[in-house]
Structure formats: C-alpha cells, structure tokens
Structure 1
Amino acid sequence: MSQNDNSLEFNTDFFDLVAVFTYDKIDFNLLFPYKFQINALSKEKINRLLLLDFKTPLKAFVWGIVPAFLFFGLSLDRFYKGDKILGVVKFLLWFCSTPLLIVCGFLA
C-alpha cells in the first residue's frame, strides 16, 4: 500500500463553505457573484475569512438607538462594532455635553 492510498483528497468548494458559515450574516444573492473569486482563495485565506466576526446591522442599530433614548443621546454602537477608540471619543463627548445641555434646558 502506498502513501497516496491512505490520504484522501477532497475537492472542496470553498464558496459553499463560506455560504454555510455566513448564511445568517451575508445574503446568498449578494455573495453569489463572488463565487469564482472565493473558490480561487487559498485555504489560509478561507480560514481567515471564516474566523471574521461579522456584525449584524440590526444589532448595531439597536446599540446605537436604544441607549440614545434612555440616556439622552448616548450611543454604544461603536463598542459593538469593535471600534474602541471612536467609542471612547463618542462616550467622552456625550459625558461632557449632556450635563451642559441639561443645565441649559432648565435655564431656558
């Protein structure tokens, strides 16, 4: 028995693999035009693509809107998206401006 008899090679369609792993994040109709480009990627790039943490736009919208109504304009969507620096900048702007707006509102 040669070494090649024990090893199995699969003809993997990377597009199907990506479509299955991202079915709830990316619409199949939007992904389909890129089928040939996805199949041409190396295994390493496919693994990196599958390890991406896709964010859903609805959750980002909720993290941006709900706290804004509850806390006078505070928006936490940047933290959800993973952009910590801009999230801190937005929080500091909110933290500095909200007391000023509340005081001005009572004085008016």
Structure 2
Amino acid sequence: MDANTVLMMISDKIPSQSLIFVQEKLKNSSEDKINTIVTLNFKSHIIGLILGLFFGLYGIDRFYKGDITLGIVKLITFIIGTITTFIYIGFIILIGLWIWTIVDYFLVWKGIKKDNLKKNFNCIGINIF
C-alpha cells in the first residue's frame, strides 16, 4: 500500500492537526512499516464517546481508553457517592463526578486520537511523545 492510502484509512483516527506531519513521515517510511500500520488495532473515539455517554459515571470510558487508574478512581468515587447520599455529602460527590464525566467526554475523545497517533509513530519508529 502507498502512504496516501494508509493516511486516508487512519485520518479519522488521529488528530486532524497531525495529518500533514504523519503524511510526511509515512512518505519517508519503508513499505514494511506502512503495511504494519494498516494492521494496527486503533481504538475508536466514537465508541469512547458512546461509552462515556452511557457508562461514564462508572469509568468505563476510561477503562476503554486504557487509563485504568482513572477508571478505578471514577468507579470508587461513584460507589462512595452513592453510599454516602443518605448523609447528603454523597450528593456533592455525585455532582462533582457528573461534572468530571462531562469533561471526560472531550478528554477521552481527544485522548483516544492522541493515543492512536502515538501508536502510529511507535510503529514507524518515531518516539516523539
């Protein structure tokens, strides 16, 4: 496969501002590295968003992205907030968690694309991050 075809295949999976840089690096890469990029398992930012919308309070979006520690923290925060709602502090915890979940919609969306870009560069042999 040529570099332009691979770039078209991965263009929606990496940050748009990186496309020119990736195109330049792909043109200078060997055929083997380009073919390896095609076989990489990139995560979908859309699936990350859907998981965040439906299961974000439980940290499932973070687990999918690969941020296991933050996923566990979100899950524990949800459990503690739910348990302590009878003394009203739980409501404050859950409101904070709800705000964190809304912010995570954007962070996970961009983070998955950035992780895919990092995976792409590691495959090519560029350690930029």
TM-score between both structures, scaled by the size of structure 1 = 0.56
Q: Deviations over 1:12-57 (max 9, x none)?
A: 52332x1354366358996356423211123454345334332222
Counterpart of 2:86 in structure 1 is 103
1:15 lines up with 2:10 in the alignment: no
Residue from 43, 53, 74 that aligns with 1:55 = 43
Contact conserved, 1:76 with 1:87, CA < 8 A, in 2?
Answer: yes
- Paired with 2:41 and 2:79, the residues of 1 have a C-alpha distance of 29
**1:1-108 correspondence runs (5 A):** 13-16=2-5, 18-19=6-7, 21-22=9-10, 25=13, 31=19, 34-68=22-56, 73-100=57-84, 102-105=85-88
Q: CA–CA distance in 2 between the matches of 1:98 and 1:52?
A: 40
Identity in percent: 29
User: Would you identify which runs of 4 or more consecutive aligned residues in structure 1 move more than 6 Å?
Assistant: 27-30
Q: What is the CA distance between 1:78 and its match in structure 2?
A: 0.8
Report which of the two structures shows the higher radius of gyration computed on alpha carbons: 1
Higher helix proportion, which one? 2
TM-score, normalised via structure 2 length? 0.49
Q: Counterparts of 2:66 and 2:39 in 1: how far apart (Å)?
A: 15
Could you say what the CA RMSD is over the residues aligned between the two structures, in angstroms?
3.3
Give ranges in structure 1 of 5+ residues lacking alignment. 1-11
* 1:19/1:28 contact within 8 Å kept: no
